[in-house]
Structure 1
């Protein structure tokens, strides 16, 4: 009985941690891929952003969408957690990336 109780508590803690760690898209932008790096990342030039929150060149993790093959010149819509790292080039936590027609 004691082992079952400990197991139940452990499972509940694990599920609550997973729920709390789930990230959601808080901001998006549209841009054009300038350079692709090892099919995992890309430098994207921002052309449209919500509230002009971001501009210039941003490093994007294109591996977040393994079903798509991205190439230089593609127009993409990127969703991220709203935080921009002040690096050169800027870096974000990419949550979604998709081709735009």
Structure 2
């Protein structure tokens, strides 16, 4: 079965459109990473992670159409700046210890 010239032309046009779309997406991802790098200090951080974590990070980055390094920077920034209100402060621990000590003295 041979394709006619119009069928070949249509297929070629579809392939060119797909290539152009992929190129646009890659350019957007590169631009986002360049902008992020320009706004941040360029300090390298090297760490060892499990293969499963690497795979999950790469999967999530691909799903978001961003480089894995950009995703990791975002996740680290969010984790560092997140205020966990469920944590007990040192002052609260000291107050609990004082209250327990008072109660123990009252029972004696």
TM-score (ref. length: structure 1)? 0.33
Question: Which entry has the higher C-alpha Rg, 1 or 2?
Answer: 2
Higher helix share: 2
Higher strand share: 1
Higher relative contact order (CA 8 A, sep 6+): 1
